[in-house]
Chains A and B, each alone.
Chain A
C-alpha cells in the first residue's frame, strides 16, 4: 500500500515569494491533515479536512496560508507571501476516517527554507 506522498521535498525561496506544497493521501483515507513543524518543536496542526470539507483551520494564518482539497483526495497548501518564520517542515498526514483513535499516517514532509 502506497504511503502519503508529498512534493516537493525541499524548497528554498526568498521572503515575500510564494510556494505551494502538494499531498496525496493514502488511498481511501477521508481525513487529511497539514501540520507545520518548526525545528525543535512538535507538529502543529494547520488545517484538517474531512473529505473536501474543512474540519479545523483555527491555527492557519489565513492572511498568507491557504489550502484546498477540491475533490476530496489530494490537497495543496500555499503560502503567499512567505515570511522568514515560515521556515519549517510541512507534514501532510491522513487517516481512514475521523473517529478518535484512528492512526494518522505521515508523509516524509516538505522542507521549506525562507531566506
Chain B
C-alpha cells in the first residue's frame, strides 16, 4: 500500500513570505498525486493534482507543486502567503484500479500578519 508523509504538522509564515509544505510518498510506480485544502468546518477542496502530464503543476489560489521522481516528493509552494491561505493542507496519492486514495496526516498553515 501507498504511504504519504507530510513533514511538519504546523507551519507558520508571515504574510507575503514563501509557503513551502512538504510531501513525500512511497511508490514503485508513477503515482497520481494530489493536494487538498481544508478550511475550518469544511470538507476537503482540491488544490491541484499531478497525473504525469507535466512535473510542475499549477493549482488554484496561486499554489503550485513539483513532482520529483528521484526524491519521491511533491512539495506544495506559493510565492507569497496571504492571510486567507490559513488552513490545513493534505497531500494524497491515488493508486490501483479502484482509485484508492491515501492521505497524509496534514499540515496546518498559519499566516501571521
Contacts and interface: CB of A to CB of B under 8 A. Distances in A.
Interface of A: 4, 31, 33, 40-45, 48, 50, 55-56, 91, 93, 95, 97-109, 111
Nearest to B52: A101
A95 B43 contact: no
A48 B46 contact: no
Contacts of A98: 97-99
Given A100-B97, A111-B41, 9 more contacts: A42-B4, A42-B105, A44-B103, A45-B100, A50-B98, A55-B98, A98-B98, A106-B36, A106-B44
A103 B46 contact: yes
A101 B51 contact: yes
B42 interface: yes
B42 A108 contact: yes
B89 to A, nearest CB: 10
Given A101-B51, A102-B94, A42 B99 contact: no
Contacts of A93: 44
A102 B95 CA distance: 10
A91 B90 CA distance: 14
Nearest to A109: B43
